[in-house]
Structure 1
Amino acid sequence: MLRIRRELVDEIVAHARRDHPDEACGVIAGPEGSDRPERFIPMLNAARSPTFYEFDSGDLLKLYREMDANDEVPVVIYHSHTATEAYPSRTDVSYASEPDAHYVLVSTREPEKQEFRSFRIVDGVITEEPVEILE
């Protein structure tokens, strides 16, 4: 189960809407070993695409060095889908390299509807998990 503060959910959704029609992406880091998302880190979609996202390799290297220095891990890795449901694509699954991370997807296909879902992706297997939003 993903337990996440309301303000972090709002930040992810706002980032997804702001970058629409391109996919948005980012990370929420948390203390190593805690499974507690704390630090919101929006990233640039280097692909600048409405159907695909890609972290810039330099930005990603900088992020991992920063997390290492702070004893943090990527608790949540998020991105948006602009025209489809919030469910991992084959490409998303192929990029999922953090077995302990929560993979959050937000769909911006319907501006008035919030579609926010979380998944575990391990060895190519997608498992949806409940989300508890903490006020």
Structure 2
Amino acid sequence: MVLAIEEKIIAALLAHGRREEPNEACGYLAAKDGVVCRHFELTNIDAAPDHYAMDPAEQFAVIRQIRAEGLQLAAVYHSHPETPARPSIEDLRLAHDPKVIYVIVSLMAGVVPVRAFRIRQGTETEVPLKVVAGAR
């Protein structure tokens, strides 16, 4: 399994993370034909620098929008303002759906900025990212 993601989405995730600093940013990624081509920014209702919680009403609205646009939910993303792009102990503890891909965006200098993972029973497995040029 590889997660294909458009280059512009990587840039948008980093920008979203920077706008939300010092708190974590969060949202959904949607795909068309197996390539992530849209991101949907959600509110971190906890407004915290070390974890996130999504607003359930926003989540449902975005899922409806994704379906209405003929896209598929591909992943959940969130940022780590001060740590690398790898699941934290909190991320491992709170990941309840083993089918979900979790994309983590690090705002630290000198680290890989975006990585993806599946988390099953507290154990992470990295999902390779394939960055592709998007439609112009």
State the TM-score bracket (shorter-chain normalisation): 0.7 to 0.9
Number of residues of Structure 1 aligned to a counterpart in Structure 2: 132
Instruction: Tell me the CA shift for residue 105 of structure 1.
Output: 0.7
Query: Unmatched 5+ residue regions in structure 2?
Result: none
Between the aligned partners of 1:104 and 1:114, the Cα distance in structure 2 is 12
Q: Which residue of 1 aligns with 2:26?
A: 25
Unaligned runs of 5+ in 1: none
> 2 CA distance for matches of 1:63 and 1:127?
27
User: What is the rounded CA distance, in whole Å, between the counterparts of 1:17 and 1:114 in structure 2?
Assistant: 16
Percent pairwise identity: 32
The corresponding residue for 1:92 is 91
CA spacing shift, 1:76–1:25, aligned 2, 3 Å: same
Matching residue's letter, 2:26:
C
Q: Aligned residue for 1:58? A: 57
- Structure 2 CA distance for aligned equivalents of residues 129 and 35 of structure 1: 14
Q: What CA deviation, in whole Å up to 9, does each residue of 1:91-130 have, x standing for no partner?
A: 22333344443311111133x7652111122343310122
What is the Cα deviation at residue 62 of structure 1? 1.6
Q: Is the 8 A contact 2:84 2:112 kept in 1?
A: no
Per the normalisation by structure 2, the TM-score is 0.82
Partner in structure 2 of residue 131 of structure 1: 129
Q: 1:7/1:84 Cα in 2 relative to 1: closer, same or farther (>3 Å)?
A: same
Deviation at 1:71, TM superposition (A): 4.7
Q: 2:84–2:111: 8 Å Cα contact kept in structure 1?
A: no
* Residues 108, 114 of structure 1: 8 Å contact kept: no
1:7 and 2:15 aligned: no
Alignment RMSD (CA, Å): 2.1
Q: Please give the TM-score of this superposition, normalised by the length of structure 1.
A: 0.83
